[in-house]
Amino acid sequence: MESRMFLLFVVILLMARINSSRSKAASLALSTSLEPLFIPFHSIFFLSTRIEINPSYSLCFFVMQVKHIRSKYGDYFGITVAGYPEAHPDVIGSDGFATLEDYHKDLAYLKQKVDAGADLIVTQLFYDTDIFLKFVNDCRLIGINCPIVPGIMPINNYKGFIRMAGFCKTKIPAEVTAALEPIKDNEEAVRAYGIHLGTEMCKKILAHGIKTLHLYTLNMEKSALAILMNLGLIEESKITRPLPWRPPTNVFRVKEDVRPIFWANRPKSYLTRTIGWDQYPHGRWGDSRNPSYGALSDYQFMRPRARGKKLLEEWAAPLKSVEDIYEKFKVYCLGKLKSSPWSELDGLQPETKIINEQLGKINLKGFLTINSQPAVNGEKSDSPSVGWGGPGGYVYQKAYLEFFCSKEKLNALVDKCKAFPLVTYMAVNRGGSWISNVALTDVNAVTWGVFPAKEIIQPTVVDPTSFSVWKDEAFEIWSRGWASLYTEGDPSRTLLEEVQSSYFLVSLVDNDYIHGDIFAVFADL
């Protein structure tokens, strides 16, 4: 009785949440897929198992949920429900199969959700296409006539694939296991096979009359895009970024369109450090002294196993002098390394390749770059290297460099900048000593775009207050991102810690985006 009463309370509470959320969804102009947006299925299942509610009660709840939304709001919401080609994981036995009885019970329950008002079924991931096609046929036989969209999850790395398949109790065909086993430790080969397998699965599904695909990306969209290109559904030249940085999927940040440039290569860290903001910049950056950035924590320095392994391979070589450090940065800027302690991204970004030779040269001089962008004057917004915002517009950028250097090199640079009145700089060391030719309140737009029937968009800025926050993270990476790859007492680790404690972090902007040459500042230094 207590379990039933608790579930009734949960149902009432969640229904209230759904009612109060209608206006929020409308104001955000969302096309709402109900189960993922309001009450994800896995959340309810987790709740029900933790409080030991009879599973049949939670099953009834989802039918109630669909009925409630449809009866109260009519067609205002589009409702998507989950389908399980191999049956729900709860009824799949230790042998990897559901009994025929449990499979048909699962189908019957799915029909209840559709009859209650669901518009669409998106399936659990699968790797045996024949199982999905049989599932679709079985649904049609019992009168489920709404669209059934296959959930395709590309294989990006072996351990993640095995973990997800095990969690979902997904059957792995023998031919897939045989193909992966000899390459399981080669991440690039696994990803290439995953793209091939996903492409072949989609081809077969489309050949059987299914017209819609749903690709699970898990924030790794490159494989999904490659599959779509292989299928001829998109052209690589037509893939555009809505902004210079990837907008988050968080609905509370849907209007955010301005960020400081400093976290360009660490977008996940930026999200975690701004998660507590009441509102996010839209249209202009404004006064950055108002919002408070979250403190640094272990989370900002966590990384996937594969990235940690790549850093160890590429960055843990013995370092005998600062010149060895210069060489490591140079090699990265030339595209010969795929990882960087200061980046969450894979390799160089397309626009960096425009200036990578110049970057390599200044790194050898001891100006160790961790962020940059070339000057752009009215490039078409669909440019594959610097474009963003979709076709029909023009984009602009001021040349930007961010780097570490010694106090001696900084002094020489500051002196050289006197001959370049349109170059602005900020420099700060780990202890907070500040050198700059801009005021602390000066916010400089370094990227902007002009589009038909829109106001000018300026999505990237250089902001002194944010820079002083970013510097703590940037300096911490010397120890937690790079030096930690070596054992305690290792001379290489000691050298990196010395650089961390003595160097300055510098932000340099050439405001002449038409005729300027930011690299001229480094000539003869």
Q: What is the pLDDT of residues 149-196, one digit of tens each?
A: 999 999 998 999 999 999 999 999 999 999 999 999 888 899 999 999
DSSP assignment of 205-252, as one string?
Answer: HHHTT----EE--TT-HHHHHHHHHHTTSS-GGG---SSSSPPPS-GG
Token pair for residue 78? 């589009």
Biggest CA-to-CA distance, the chain: 82
322: left (phi > 0), else alpha (psi -120 to 50), else beta? Answer: alpha
Q: Identify the pLDDT of residue 139.
A: 97
Residue with tokens 């409308």: 26
259-292 burial: b if 16+ Cβ within 10 Å, else e: bbbbbbbbbbbbebbbeebeebbeeebeebeebe
Query: Whole-angstrom Cα distance, residue 336 to residue 511?
Result: 30
Q: Is 75 exposed, middle or buried (0-12, 13-18, 19+ CB in 10 A)?
A: exposed
Q: Identify the pLDDT of residue 52.
A: 34
Q: Identify the pLDDT of residue 35.
A: 34
Q: What is the pLDDT of residues 387-427, one digit of tens each?
A: 999 889 999 999 999 999 999 999 999 999 999 999 999 99
Q: Are 242 and 389 in contact (CB under 8 A)?
A: yes
Q: With helix as H, strand as E and coil as C, how does 247-301 read?
A: CCCCHHHCCCCCEEHHHCCCHHHHHHHCCCCCCCCCCCCCCCCCCCCCCCCHHHH
Q: With helix as H, strand as E and coil as C, how does 49-99 read?
A: HHCCCCHHHHHHHHHHHHHHHHHHHCCCCECEEEECCCCCHHHECCCCCEC
Q: Identify the pLDDT of residue 46.
A: 27
Q: Are 157 and 187 in contact (CB under 8 A)?
A: yes
Token pair for residue 427? 């420099």
Q: What is the Cα Rg of the chain in Å?
A: 27
Query: Whole-angstrom Cα distance, residue 423 to residue 415?
Result: 12
Token pair for residue 425? 């700089």
In the chain, which residues have pLDDT < 50?
1-58, 288-289
Q: Identify the pLDDT of residue 60.
A: 62
Q: Are 125 and 174 in contact (CB under 8 A)?
A: no
User: What's the pTM value of the predicted model, to 2 decimals?
Assistant: 0.72
* Helical packing angle, 129-141 and 100-115, nearest 10°: 60
14-49 burial: b if 16+ Cβ within 10 Å, else e: bbeebeeeeeebeeeeeebbbbebbbeeeebbeebe
Q: Identify the pLDDT of residue 337.
A: 94
